[in-house]
Amino acid sequence: MEIVLAIAIMALGAVVLGAALGFASIKFKVEGDPLIEKIEAILPQTQCGQCGYPGCKPYAEAIANGDEINKCPPGGTEGVQRLADLLGREVKPLNAEEKPKQIAIIDEQTCIGCTLCIQACPVDAIVGAAKQMHTIVAPLCTGCELCLPPCPVECIRMEPIAENIDNWKWKYPVVEIKAAALKEAA
């Protein structure tokens, strides 16, 4: 008799907990893969395709599925580091040269107004119309270089973003012992 009661109690417990878990799995279902979103948040969103994928999101998906984390030159070494921290993988050197941040500039004298760069720009940072001069909206340009190849007159060039008082950063304090030693050596 007691054994039956014990089994009944355990069975009841199993049913209740099972129901609770089943309810939770439906109620608190996570939409999409949160890992992909986290990876995408680290990627610089230049949408440049230098990783070989058409945009940052596809690359984030590829990383989540096991692709290398060092294929994003605009993200730089720091980006690789942060991806490694997130995914618990080993830091690898970047598979391309790290460039300073840059923006595209259209030589407006040469521009013939073909609209090819407007179509190529992934972030709509170029304004213009057919047979009208085009120009880059500098604050929106991500420096992805995708507008360079389609230009038939090669009037687009990349320029590194110059330091000014608004984007200037305080430097990491120098430990003075080293500075003194260097001075002496010099």
Partner 1 sequence: MLMNLFKFKGGVKPPTNKTQSVTLPIAVAPIPSRLVVPLHQSIGGTPRPVVQAGDQVLKGQLIGEADGWISAAIHAPTSGTVVEVAMHVQPHPSGLDAMCVVIAPDGRDEWIAHQPFDYANAAPEAVREYLQQSGVVGLGGAVFPTHGKLTPSKTVPMEELVINGAECEPFITCDDLLMRERAEEVVRGIGIFRDLLQPKKVLIGIEDNKPEAAAAMRAAVDALGEPFSVIQVPTLYPAGGAKQLIRVLTGKEVPAAKRSTDLGVQCFNVATAYTAWRAISHGEPVVSRLVTVTGNVHAPRNYEVLIGTPMDELLQLATPHPDTDGIIMGGPMMGFLVPDRQVPVIKATNCLIAHDDRLFPPKPPEMPCIRCGSCAQACPHELQPFEMYWFSRAKNFGKTQEYHIFDCIECGCCSFVCPSRIPLVQYFRFAKSEIWAREREKNAADGAKTRFEFKQVREEREKAEKAEKLAKAAAAQAAKKAAEAAAAAAAGEPVAEGAAAVEPVAPEATPVPVAVDPEKAAKMATIQAAMERAKAQREAAQPKNTEALKATQQKEIDEIEARRQAAHLTEATPAAPAGEKTE
Q: Where do contacts with partner 1 occur on this chain (CB under 8 A)?
A: 40, 43-47, 55-56, 122-125, 139-140, 142, 163-165, 167-173, 175-177, 180
| Of 176 and 184, CB closest to partner 1 | 176
Which one, 2 or 166, has the nearer CB to partner 1?
166
Q: What is the closest distance, in whole angstroms, from the C-beta atom of residue 126 to partner 1 in the complex?
A: 11
Minimum CB separation of residue 44 from partner 1 in Å reads: 6
Residues 161 and 74: their CA atoms lie apart, in Å, by 14
Report the distance separating Cα 41 and Cα 30, nearest Å: 18
Shortest CB 127 distance to partner 1, Å:
13
Do residues 18 and 41 lie in contact, with contact meaning Cβ atoms separated by under 8 Å? Answer: no
Contact of 110 with 155, CB cutoff 8 Å: yes
Cβ neighbors of 148 (< 8 A, separation 6 or more) are 104, 154, 156, 158
Nearer to partner 1, 2 or 163 (CB): 163
